[in-house]
Structure 1
């Protein structure tokens, strides 16, 4: 009579690991946190700073979080504070943040092992928001190739421009080109110039490639790939692609028109420029507003009307599963369709002859309202820690941190350590929060076997 093997006893550690991996989206925040802590450790070392002394912990943590969350906000002058060691670390963290910690790890697995297990596919699915598990391998390769090609093209253009027009030595031209290309495509926003790209506001060969790279990186890979694959039949795009592509086009057009008209006569920004240069500066700044972090216009000298525009565009952000932050374009326009359907008295919310599931509507509403609450809470917290800084500038800085845009009006550098920690938390939550929250809501679905009687409370 065969003897059955003794039962395998699962230790508590194994049980916790299996429970943790049951919802792979939980790995995303942890992966970013580990990268932030490693980057902080490197940036604290004396060789990373120009003065060759230990960087204060909060400064290093702020910079590492800003880099891995592809924000680009800084409390020190990036062009003078860090040595090449520190700048290379910032570049690596930005690239990792753009690809996504889990996406990059899985690309390494593909190269080394040539095999991708189901668990790793689920992990990358949580980061890239790709719903077809069978397509994850191909998706990862296309993401990596797209990023590298975009960065390579921009690097070549910038290197040639820096060498031929500005007489940079070849090595310096290539380094500056690589650094800014990585920051542009990944929506980072760190710059090797103290005034970001304001000094190049008249140079289309520098600003336009970076602006286009920012737009590509901020669209989101699922929407971008589908739009390229079916560009002749936009009517067959999915709802997510339609909302992202057309919504981004609308936001770019509106932002450009409002910014150009509001700043046309402002002597501190666009006023001294010729009409063609005004159009160029307004277009590139508009492209950088929502996620890029670069600025071709001094944002500290904008009119008050422009601040409201920038805050709104930063809060919306870019496309889902992109290098951008914010509540995402699809979320914003989905809520707009919900409002439109409600005003018309329609029971269903439709986008392009497709009915949007109620679960998606609730998910969009939850993400938007919680994001508003975080921005408000962050603004109040920072205001309580500062004196002499106006409310609109604090709101601008907090929104920029949460949306991982990185534009700054100089508030971050003047904050005490506690205020900078508040911005660090906002950058971290802004990078992984909406992704984690949206995926967690989608995974945490359950069906009750009963329903309560319906009642309609008074609204309004």
Structure 2
């Protein structure tokens, strides 16, 4: 018989637990950032500014209304780094790991909340699963920090260089996009290979999804190095369909986005026109990867062609893969919606992928999430357009999807918006981080209405 830890929120649904856990961390974080010991002497930030930053950090977005560089000292930046790490993995994940490590069992509702926060659909051996997540997370962040240190320590000195390296590694892996270096993100380092490729690698590893990690590492452990060609085919065949779809979509989006960025920006002197061919390609890859929810910028988006901004919007909308630190609609959700549309056009009954049929319920959920993202994006951008009608709608849409997909890139717009628009941006970040479906479910009563799901006689309605 399982013994459960006393849980004051045990009667709440997993959706409510997820929403409340993020809200709690945001509130505590805003109070800590508001303390004088967290700020530099010249800071003139208000509590609202700290609240906005706390939302952005916990929701691993990267947008700000007051400069991180000009507002927070080392202590404040450490608080931010902790908020980013908690936001990337989820508060319930940290609590569960602590409980498991001290020998307690966690309530089933809390376990469901953890798997929901990390987009996992399994409760099997969750303690081991969580332990592996923490282990791989800190190993990857540690390697990233060491790579950053090879540049920042000689550049900034041991103490500052070490701190910057750790902060950057956490921020990149959690797809947060914050950096304490300047107010211009990575523009000053746009041609430094070790910085760019390390950030790219951390973003991809953080956004690919924890379940994909474990599936790939399991195949690597079983790899037969005596017959590499056959072993590669075997490993690919044994990968789960989810892993194949997530990896396939990731490669497709990065390659396609890089090619389109190069095509439209090749001669644009405001972005990459004056760079060498190698730096152009590196910047194109960096920008495509960061648009998948990371938020680091190595170009000025106000100088990019409008069609490039539109491509960025689509890339941000799709986002990263489920079960990781990335946001957005998610690559697999987008793929399922496209596959469902193709199957419908071809008048096929089933949607198949790698000799597996996708359940109709899963397709329906993917389509509902797709519609929710579009609806909330239209509502959010429409509200900002109402409060700031003087701003070009393309940049409002860019800023809105950047917040909603927890990306964090900006066309230098967020700090200039009205207070009402900034509240909308905060709301979009929060809903985007916990997920629109989770947000709506958390607002519903916990008790199900058994009389609402009644089947009547069928009828036909004209469509198209």
Shift, 1:326, TM fit: 0.8
Shift, 1:83, TM fit: 1.4
> Which runs of structure 2 are paired with 1:113-152 in the superposition (5 Å)?
113=103, 115-116=105-106, 118-152=108-142
- Offset from partner CA, 1:238-267 (integer Å, 9 cap, x none): 332222111111111111110111111000
Instruction: Tell whether the 8 Å contact from 1:367 to 1:437 is kept in structure 2 after alignment.
Output: no
1:226 aligns with 2:230: no
1:370 aligns with 2:372: yes
1:206 aligns with 2:195: yes
Aligned-residue CA RMSD in angstroms? 2.4
Partner Cα separation in structure 2 for residue 258 and residue 324 of structure 1 = 22
1:62 aligns with 2:52: yes
Instruction: Tell whether the 8 Å contact from 1:189 to 1:405 is kept in structure 2 after alignment.
Output: yes
Among candidates 397, 409, 429, match of residue 395 of structure 1: 397
Q: TM-score, normalised by structure 2?
A: 0.90
> Which runs of structure 2 are paired with 1:431-446 in the superposition (5 Å)?
431-434=433-436, 436=438
SS in 1 for 2:351: coil
- Offset from partner CA, 1:44-84 (integer Å, 9 cap, x none): 12222223667312211110000000001111221122111
* Correspondence for 1:380: 382
- Offset from partner CA, 1:378-430 (integer Å, 9 cap, x none): 11111111143111011100010000000001111001211111100000000
Partner Cα separation in structure 2 for residue 67 and residue 201 of structure 1 = 23
Partner Cα separation in structure 1 for residue 374 and residue 293 of structure 2 = 17
Partner Cα separation in structure 1 for residue 8 and residue 83 of structure 2 = 29
Shift, 1:146, TM fit: 1.2
Structure 1 unaligned residues grouped into runs of 5+: 1-13
Among candidates 302, 305, 320, match of residue 304 of structure 2: 302
| Distance change (3 Å), C-alpha of 1:347 and 1:110 | same
- Offset from partner CA, 1:179-219 (integer Å, 9 cap, x none): 11110000010112221111111111111011110011011
Instruction: Tell whether the 8 Å contact from 2:45 to 2:71 is kept in structure 1 after alignment.
Output: no
* Correspondence for 1:27: 17
Shift, 1:105, TM fit: 1.2
Structure 2 unaligned residues grouped into runs of 5+: 1-5, 221-231
Give the length in aligned residue pairs. 442
Q: TM-score, normalised by structure 1?
A: 0.90
SS in 1 for 2:125: helix
Partner Cα separation in structure 2 for residue 212 and residue 457 of structure 1 = 50
Partner Cα separation in structure 1 for residue 114 and residue 250 of structure 2 = 25
